[in-house]
Structure 1
Amino acid sequence: MSDATMIRSALFVDFDNIYLNFNNQDQDLAKAFATRPERWLRWLVESKPNVVVGGAVERRILIRRCYLNPSSFADFRPYFTKSAFEVIDCPPLTSRGKTSTDVHMVMDILETLHHYPSIDEFIILSGDADFTPVLIKLRKHDRRTSVLAAGYASPAYKASGDHVFDLDEFITAGIGFVELETEQQPLGSPATEANSPSIVQRIGARVHEVVQESGPVQAADLPRIFREFKEFGRDTNWLGFGTLRRLAVELVHASPKLVLIDDDPWKIGCAAPEVESAGAEPAETAEPGLDADTKQRMEEFIIETVRSSSVPVVLAKMAYLLGMKFGSRVSESQWYGSGSFKALLAHLNLPGVEISTLSSGFLFDRTIHEAPEEKMDSLQVKIHNITDTPLLPPEHYQILFRCLANEVNANGYSLNRTSKAVRDCCAEEGAAVARSHVNFVLLGLGHMRYRFQQGQEEAPLLAQKFYENVLNLCRSSQIFLSDEETASVRAWITGKP
């Protein structure tokens, strides 16, 4: 890299690919992407490049190119030229509307590689797997790559990039597409005793005990704790707060020691105490980054914790324990500049400790624990590993589709609002379904050209359409299924043999 404090980037936008994928999910989202390039461009500039742990760098996007079909999207050109993009016209070349966008982009990327040696990073906004070879080429030339895929992108494509932008963060923080969520009034009239501060505080105290003992509690596990109290029941409508999420917010407000952790899935945990690592400077004066001593102590702590546990350690619990041991600096520094706990783990030396591929995430040692994946159906694990299909148990898939049908029938469909509502509905029914799981299903249905219709959705049809999408993913990933395996996948996704 030419400058330790700056990363020079080139941005290539496959407009048709991103726009059409967004449009399949939400027309307003697609329009926001196409008419607000200056906003998400600013977000890209201000986003901390994922270069080194704790590296304080600035991103400058020196080359900006947008490739679009002028026959269909000419109206959006002025928005990009206003944001200093070079707009390259890629008109249809065949009767089926096929454009030359991918060829133009590949040639321009390779030209930039050879004629602009100062460019450190190539940013590609496209989910087209055809760009996989060029990403591999860039890596051979020691150039960093960052990619964004609006729809389904093959694991090989994502693995070829050094960094994959979080789609949800790009939509909300980048594009600024945030829907206002109206707080509905609680349904029904709960008893005064059930809605009084005393029961909320007592439940909060109990949740705090569980968190101290076992780490953060996922949303899906909260109802189990609530049922320990006689005041809580199905007829109390979440103690009068209407939803599990709103009740959780009230618990946090009533219990200062608790915090709502908006991970995926969300959970309740304890606020980390303001402690400092031995021999370290105070958090407000310490230099950013992970120093060698802290890194070694963190590695030793993780290895010791995993090996002393009789079962694989959930990632969320390990993250919580690290926060308790190393203090508030962990969260304040965004995991020492890496952005997430998983990203930090990739920079640590943890001999013998593995991370499971299950979406919920575990740390384990094969000499002590059985790998979490080995307890799952091998075909399901294989499909999950290769296509990213959520590794949910069949009963959780059924809950997801039922919640999705009910939500769309009641409130219509909108990507952000629907995914949040379905996630919370699944949690209320005790299913640990993350928002990323819901988004994967929604994107899969969009890929099948499925159109939601308020008041007409049925869970079995949604399950069938997503099952067909999973089969398509298997075929495109060269997973060839026998008739018996196909029936097994159908039972997994739809619950029907």
Structure 2
Amino acid sequence: MTKAGKTSTDIHMVLDIIDVLQASTRYDEFIVFSADADFTPVLRKLRREDRRTTIFAAGATSASYDASADLIVDLDAFIHDALGFDDEEAARETPNLESLLAQAEGLVWETVDNADQPVPLPGLTKILATRIPALPATEWAGKGTFFALLKSLPLDPLRIDREENTLLDPRRLNGHANGTTAARVVMPSGSPNKSDPRQAAQVADQLSRLIADEVAESNRPIAVARLAQLARAEFPGIEVTWLGHGSWKKLLESLRPPHVKIVWQQLAGWALDPDRHTLDLAAAGTVAHVSAADSARAAKVSRLLEAVDLPLLEPAKYRAQLEALSMALDDQPYVLTNVTKSMRDHCQRLGQPVSREQCLRLLRTLVYDGFNPEADPHGFEDLVAMTCGVIVSACDREGVPVDDADRFELLQWMTDQEAEAVE
């Protein structure tokens, strides 16, 4: 140990992991007790060797480090569930696992459809964990690991390339070896396209009936990305031009399936029968009911929040949480569980319901980045400044570019104000 208290423990841990990895006994899971992002290459090597990885970090971690692990042990869950120090009231509400699986399926398809090359699995892990925060909190919807979740979803014909550690659609992408850009498959002769308007109209009519039948037979809303999968399976090659519309979303908007309504929530689409289905995905805590303009704002802010691993909550929910945190620190001595309970209850009274887990996540982010709840100023404006500063610092650390317009947008989001043009 040096005078500064530094040791070579991390090097010894890495050497031990490599030794165990090469041992005659196969170990299926490695648990790393560290928040040090230097372990990121080790986690990725373990993933390439088809081993599960778990990290337990009592401190702030980087986005790339989190994305490289299959499971992140939540500190609060460890304190309550492993050590047995629990409140009389459960700290987290029981999420709807079926809803989480449906959201995960839709988001995976959306990510693959929007990508022009195979999707790296670490990046996909991060996308799911950030856009659907309840997934890692529920051990990937009860599946245990990200890979187990991925394999449980109906993603045929998508396949995992373990050599490249990516997820790809073999019908659109191939030859992504040695860093070359994947090439799109040429549409087979006779496939529907815009060059034959009569054929395209016939396919559109058949596709409308297919969507109507699927919705009629389903007892819940269907992810739009799932319908895209069915369209590709029924009409091979349709995805090359999407009947001349250029994207599945534009094609879908041109169709009018009977008794089907397309609802865009949480930055994803869902097909439902308004007379039989309801769409309640609020448990995941992400943005819902957004207009096109709000969706553009959300996309900008989401990029910043991802760097600090905070969910994309609606502006009113972030404002309510920060107001609630300010009031809670005024009213009582700082105890983590008591403060997060007060935050959640205050938000519910304001008509901006959030989960205890979301309150805990915001407060821990601030504390890990230097906020002292017992000594630092904690007025609403102080907390807004602290939160925005933490997010911008995380963006700088993660290499996410931030300009003045981004800072202004983030400030408006956290204070629930309408964004205006920046001079």
TM-score by length of 2: 0.52
Structure 1: gaps of 5 or more residues: 1-90, 182-244, 246-260, 266-297, 304-333, 354-361
Aligned to 2:19: 111
Separation (CA, whole Å) in 1 of partners of 2:346 and 2:19: 50
1:262 corresponds to 2:93: yes
Q: Number of paired residues?
A: 259
Aligned to 2:143: 338
The structure 1 residue matched to 2:403, chosen from 482, 486, 493, is 482
The structure 2 residue matched to 1:440, chosen from 341, 361, 374, is 361
Say whether the 8 Å CA contact 2:71–2:145 is kept in structure 1. no
Say whether the 8 Å CA contact 1:264–1:435 is kept in structure 2. no
Separation (CA, whole Å) in 1 of partners of 2:305 and 2:157: 24
Match of 2:55, SS state, is strand
Separation (CA, whole Å) in 2 of partners of 1:400 and 1:494: 10
The structure 2 residue matched to 1:491, chosen from 395, 409, 412, is 412
Change (3 A) 1:491 1:99: farther
Give the superposition deviation at 1:436.
2.8
The structure 2 residue matched to 1:125, chosen from 24, 33, 51, is 33
The correspondence of residues 199-238 of structure 1 with structure 2, limited to 5 A, is: none
Separation (CA, whole Å) in 1 of partners of 2:51 and 2:150: 23
Separation (CA, whole Å) in 2 of partners of 1:351 and 1:369: 24
Match of 1:115, SS state, is coil
Say whether the 8 Å CA contact 1:397–1:493 is kept in structure 2. yes
Change (3 A) 1:466 1:344: same
Change (3 A) 1:488 1:160: same
Change (3 A) 1:379 1:424: same
Say whether the 8 Å CA contact 1:364–1:371 is kept in structure 2. no
Partner amino acid for 1:452? P
Change (3 A) 1:264 1:154: farther
The structure 2 residue matched to 1:178, chosen from 79, 86, 106, is 86
Aligned to 2:266: 372
Match of 1:145, SS state, is strand
Say whether the 8 Å CA contact 2:304–2:392 is kept in structure 1. no
Separation (CA, whole Å) in 2 of partners of 1:101 and 1:488: 42
Change (3 A) 1:351 1:371: farther
Give the superposition deviation at 1:393.
2.5
Say whether the 8 Å CA contact 1:158–1:164 is kept in structure 2. yes
Partner amino acid for 1:451? N
Separation (CA, whole Å) in 2 of partners of 1:448 and 1:436: 18
Separation (CA, whole Å) in 2 of partners of 1:401 and 1:436: 15
Select between 151-160 and 363-372 the one with higher mean Cα deviation.
Answer: 363-372
Give the superposition deviation at 1:432.
3.0
Deviations 1:208-257 (A, max 9, x none): xxxxxxxxxxxxxxxxxxxxxxxxxxxxxxxxxxxxx9xxxxxxxxxxxx
Partner amino acid for 1:388? D
Separation (CA, whole Å) in 2 of partners of 1:263 and 1:341: 19
Aligned to 1:36: none
Aligned to 1:419: 340
Separation (CA, whole Å) in 2 of partners of 1:346 and 1:468: 38
Match of 1:161, SS state, is coil
Separation (CA, whole Å) in 2 of partners of 1:342 and 1:131: 20
Separation (CA, whole Å) in 1 of partners of 2:406 and 2:265: 23
Separation (CA, whole Å) in 2 of partners of 1:473 and 1:119: 34
Partner amino acid for 2:94? D
Say whether the 8 Å CA contact 2:315–2:415 is kept in structure 1. yes
1:468 corresponds to 2:299: no
Say whether the 8 Å CA contact 1:464–1:494 is kept in structure 2. no
Say whether the 8 Å CA contact 2:29–2:51 is kept in structure 1. yes
Give the superposition deviation at 1:148.
2.0
Partner amino acid for 2:324? C
Say whether the 8 Å CA contact 1:335–1:344 is kept in structure 2. yes
Change (3 A) 1:122 1:455: closer
Partner amino acid for 1:400? Q
Give the superposition deviation at 1:169.
2.1
Partner amino acid for 1:173? D
Change (3 A) 1:455 1:487: closer
Separation (CA, whole Å) in 1 of partners of 2:141 and 2:223: 20
Say whether the 8 Å CA contact 1:409–1:453 is kept in structure 2. no
Aligned to 1:394: 315
The structure 2 residue matched to 1:146, chosen from 34, 51, 54, is 54
Aligned to 1:155: 63
Separation (CA, whole Å) in 1 of partners of 2:48 and 2:146: 28
Deviations 1:62-102 (A, max 9, x none): xxxxxxxxxxxxxxxxxxxxxxxxxxxxx2x3x54333232
Separation (CA, whole Å) in 2 of partners of 1:409 and 1:484: 33
Partner amino acid for 2:360? N
Change (3 A) 1:335 1:381: closer
Give the superposition deviation at 1:351.
6.3
The correspondence of residues 232-381 of structure 1 with structure 2, limited to 5 A, is: 262-263=93-94, 338=143, 347-350=152-155, 363-365=223-225, 366=249, 367=252, 368-370=262-264, 372-373=266-267, 375-376=294-295, 377=297, 378-381=299-302
Match of 1:106, SS state, is helix
Give the superposition deviation at 1:168.
3.0
Change (3 A) 1:402 1:383: same
Give the superposition deviation at 1:408.
1.8
Separation (CA, whole Å) in 2 of partners of 1:103 and 1:391: 36
Give the superposition deviation at 1:344.
5.3
Deviations 1:174-212 (A, max 9, x none): 12222457xxxxxxxxxxxxxxxxxxxxxxxxxxxxxxx
Say whether the 8 Å CA contact 1:410–1:454 is kept in structure 2. no
Give the superposition deviation at 1:150.
2.6
Deviations 1:102-148 (A, max 9, x none): 22211221122123533221111222211110001112222221222
Deviations 1:243-296 (A, max 9, x none): xx9xxxxxxxxxxxxxxx92369xxxxxxxxxxxxxxxxxxxxxxxxxxxxxxx
